[in-house]
A and B are shown apart, each in its own frame.
Chain A
């Protein structure tokens, strides 16, 4: 099996599987975030469940982190190998005449998403780890009430943060526009279903980032 994973198609397959895993996670993430728009209590309850459930914390979360790291590392390995396959670059290369900007620049949209994730981890994940596992406070409470909604709302007060957040999710949308259908193509999904899957991918690439953006703008606007 080692030959499979070291082959060009094998690497593409692992890249696709990690992408599909991350796209599934995004559905869950945006759903939880979006509850904050219409129910503070529901958002607090879901956040507390996700933040304290042992299965989520000690099995799903490490798998997720592995998936994120794997997707980025494999992405850069493939990009590096692909770039070296050219040898001498063209003096004139008109990629815009035969392919989309998104498809040619996955590494750049990926880099923006990586930068966003670093900030996101510093903003939310690391403080959460500190509160729960270093300070040992698993209650999820602050001043007698659940803290999750207030923390989320507080993060979206500065305008620069909201703008940065929206730009990152626009880049995610562009990444998904190509990534969704590309991951299925790499897995060899039958051509007969290609048109339908492409439409589903385009809807997904708009709906998911839009959901995150609405949450950010909503919390900025109501305060």
Chain B
């Protein structure tokens, strides 16, 4: 198929940036979106032009690196997939595709479609872990019994790959689905419960510090999340946060 791509080009963080249109031809429906971008970049390099910069790594929906906002939706029009898993068969011959970087003040553009998502790293560093003393006499993890339901919910939350689609999609640029998932994956397990209160307080404080908006429960993040992270995780985070203040340390 032949396509017109309207791509956001921005030289640096400080550059104003703008859209540039490109034509690509003979794109196979079996290609992934990133492979289509590779074709464009090869053509640009052959013409001695600057290739379009975009994030990518594993290209199998695990790493959370790819981050494009395609035709008005994070990771494009398909559901439950990242941009690297999005197939070109989702588009039609002659389509004009608008490609933008994930937009949020807390995700500043580095170049073209690549954004700085280190704000997520700092939120994780604020409490997204459990403290384990390495005494040399560790208890076998399997000796702590965990209900299957809790283990499943924790695992569901832990599937968040931190791609930032929730932030990009949310009309408020809220990171609460991400933080809710990271809080939940520990709060549901006995090992994580120990530091539950300070974890949720610290992670929410860092989230606010980074300049993300507040959730208004539109549910858009849940729909666009490539891993199907549930809004229930936000409710659990809210519950934990309120509880941490009501019950104290």
State the A residues within 8 Å of B (CB).
1, 3-4, 7-13, 78, 81-95, 97-100, 103-104, 106, 178, 181-182, 185-191, 194
Contacts and interface: CB of A to CB of B under 8 A. Distances in A.
A85 B172 contact: yes
B238 A82 contact: no
B173 A86 contact: yes
A89 to B, nearest CB: 7
Contacts, number: 144
Given A8-B208, A13-B242, A82-B171, A99 B69 contact: no
Interface stretch (B57-65, B102-110, B128-136): B102-110
A85 B212 contact: yes
A110 to B, nearest CB: 11
B174 A91 contact: no
B249 to A, nearest CB: 13
A185 B73 contact: no
B231 A185 contact: yes
Contacts of B241: 7, 9-10, 188
B214 A11 contact: yes
A104 B220 CA distance: 10
Contact of A7 (B105, B205, B211, B235): B205
A97 B214 contact: no
B220 A9 contact: no
Interface of B: 6, 8, 19, 69, 71-73, 77, 98, 100, 103-106, 108, 169, 171-174, 176, 204-205, 207-208, 211-220, 223-224, 230-232, 234-242, 245
Contact of B100 (A85, A92, A181, A187): A92
B242 A100 contact: no
Most A CB atoms within 10 A — which of B174, B204, B235?
B235
Given A97-B77, A185-B235, 17 more contacts: A10-B241, A82-B172, A82-B173, A85-B105, A85-B172, A87-B104, A87-B108, A90-B100, A92-B71, A97-B73, A98-B218, A98-B219, A99-B223, A178-B217, A178-B218, A182-B216, A182-B217
Nearest to B69: A90
5 contacts: A1-B245, A93-B72, A103-B218, A189-B235, A190-B239
B214 A95 contact: no
Contact of A82 (B19, B98, B174, B235): B174
B223 A81 contact: no
A183 B77 CA distance: 30
B235 A188 contact: yes
Contacts of A98: 73, 169, 218-220, 223-224
Contact of A191 (B6, B218, B232, B242): B232
Contact of A106 (B73, B216, B219): B216
A103 B216 contact: yes
Q: Which 5 A-B residue pairings sit nearest by Cβ, starting from the closest?
A: A188-B239, A94-B72, A85-B213, A82-B172, A188-B238
B238 A187 contact: yes
Contacts of B224: 98
A182 B214 CA distance: 13
Contacts of A4: 245
